[in-house]
Amino acid sequence: MILPSLLLFTLSAASQGAQPIDTGAVVANIDQYMMLVDRSPIMASYTRMTPDGQAEPVARGSAMPPGCVEFIELMVDSMQRVTGAVIYKPERPPGLKEATYYYFDAQHNTVSIRYELKWLDNHCTFSYAVRNDFQYFFPPRNALLEYTTLTDVEGTNLEPTKCTFPEVKRELEVYNHVDAFLLMERVRMK
């Protein structure tokens, strides 16, 4: 498990001096870390049945129950530290999927957030169109880069002017630290 250490070393070393930040290198390291976190085991799953309700634990890896307003999964590394979190929204309308991915470093700071929107009836592909909005943070609590991609499910770029976009209110909360995420999303870890 070299990657988290590599990310930690690279980010720490870059923040120590007064040298300019190599945005490309930092983003490449964070992207590698995000891929690792995406493959990490799920430690716990939670469901929220009302917008202001507590996130209640459910069986790890279970499906989103009907009627919930949010479904949350926490991913961990080999030392059982929370390295990522995903908030899934129920399909509304059918054929529209929303998820927000949070990535935390070894000091529990947020290094990246990815908001993913997938939808059918898009007029630019025969399957789901996939919009990803990325935000990178470096040093901690400082926005480094934001960008958006638009692809099909195979990863082929789509022409935005040919697509029909759903009218969805984007709800992206930025939490600087895993503790802030757990507190504000009302998740109690066991």
Q: How many domains does the chain have?
A: 1
Q: 12: which residues sit within 8 A by CB, 6+ positions away? A: none
Burial letters 169-189, b for 16+ CB under 10 A, else e: eeeeeebebbeebbeebebee
Enter the pTM of the model.
0.88
Which structural domain range is residue 66 located in? 2-184
Residue 189 domain flag: no
Has residue 176 been placed in a domain? yes
The answer to whether residue 73 is domain-embedded is yes
Report yes or no on 42 lying in a domain. Answer: yes
pLDDT of residue 11: 47
In a domain, 190, yes or no: no
Q: What integer pLDDT is reported at residue 144 of this predicted model?
A: 96
Q: Evaluate whether residue 51 is within a structural domain.
A: yes
Task: Identify whether 157 is part of a domain.
Answer: yes
Q: Give the per-residue pLDDT at 12.
A: 46
Q: What is the pLDDT along the chain (190 residues), one digit of tens a residue?
A: 333 333 443 444 444 556 788 999 999 999 999 999 999 999 999 999 999 999 999 999 899 999 999 999 999 999 999 999 999 999 888 899 999 999 999 999 999 999 999 999 999 999 999 999 999 999 999 999 999 999 999 999 999 999 999 988 877 789 999 999 999 999 998 7
